[in-house]
């Protein structure tokens, strides 16, 4: 399955043409809408890989839709804008999950931008997950070090003995070493 795209434009002709063109280029069009509020609702329900929104959409305009979706990190957004409308997007231009494309834009430029934005979004999510895992690992190491220190102080153990004690209790009770460390910290603090 290709990149999952949600399209928003108040122009029905553009909606149909975009949907057909994107489908022909291997993308899954998850929906089309002419209303900004409906676009937001759908984006927050189906979580597409990319939203393509025309600046001139009914309800709330493409700028507001873009700000909400990118600000909440719901999904990346490509805004189709006229040259004069670019100034409205100054605050979003530095965000890696947002790309304004000036109309009329080439079909291949749109396809390439969708693919690039989808890959960028996935890379950012993967990096955020790695950072989260590293934080958890760091916190776990800090808890284990604190528990070992408390055992060394209160039970006059060496660091190796304290480490072995935590390991043994972890294995005996079938709990993670971090849980044992938390219990030791609670007991001695």
> Which CATH fold would you assign to the domain 4-105?
Rossmann fold (3.40.50)
% of the chain beyond a pLDDT of 70: 99
Residues 8-29: pLDDT tens digits?
A: 999 999 899 999 999 999 999 9
Q: Do domains 4-105 and 131-188 have the same CATH topology?
A: no
Residues 64-110: pLDDT tens digits?
A: 999 999 999 999 999 999 988 888 887 787 888 899 999 888 889 99
Give the tokens for residue 50: 């990319």
Q: What are phi and psi of 169, to 5 degrees?
A: -65, -35
**DSSP assigned state of 84:** G
Rounded Cα distance, 84 and 6, in Å: 25
* Domains of the chain, residue spans: 4-105, 131-188
Is 127 exposed, middle or buried, given 0-12, 13-18 or 19+ CB atoms closer than 10 A? exposed
What's the pTM value of the predicted model, to 2 decimals?
0.76
Rounded Cα distance, 170 and 179, in Å: 8
Can you give the pLDDT at residue 88? 82
- Say if domain 131-188 classifies as CATH 1.10.10.10: yes
Q: Kindly state the average pLDDT of the residues 50-68.
A: 92
Which residues 6+ apart lie within 8 Å of 27 measured at CB? Answer: 2, 3, 4, 5, 111, 114
Rounded Cα distance, 172 and 170, in Å: 6
From the centroid of its chain, how far is CA 184? 36
The residue ranking higher by pLDDT, 50 or 188, is 50
């Amino acid at each position: 399955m290709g990149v999952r795209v949600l399209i928003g434009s108040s122009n029905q002709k553009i909606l149909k043409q975009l949907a057909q063109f994107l489908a022909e280029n291997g993308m899954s069009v998850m929906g089309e809408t002419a209303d900004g509020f409906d676009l937001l609702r759908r984006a927050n329900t189906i979580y597409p890989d990319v939203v393509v929104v025309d600046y001139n959409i009914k309800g709330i305009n493409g700028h507001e839709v873009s700000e909400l979706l990118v600000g909440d990190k719901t999904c990346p957004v490509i805004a189709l804008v006229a040259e004069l409308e670019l100034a409205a997007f100054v605050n979003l231009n530095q965000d890696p999950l947002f790309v304004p494309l000036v109309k009329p834009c080439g079909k291949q430029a749109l396809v390439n931008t969708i693919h690039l934005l989808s890959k960028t979004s996935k890379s950012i999510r993967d990096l955020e997950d790695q950072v989260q895992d590293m934080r958890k690992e760091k916190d776990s190491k800090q808890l284990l070090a604190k528990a070992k220190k408390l055992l060394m102080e209160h039970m006059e153990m060496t660091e190796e003995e304290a480490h072995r004690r935590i390991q043994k209790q972890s294995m005996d009770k079938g709990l993670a070493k971090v849980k044992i460390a938390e219990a030791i910290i609670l007991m001695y603090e």
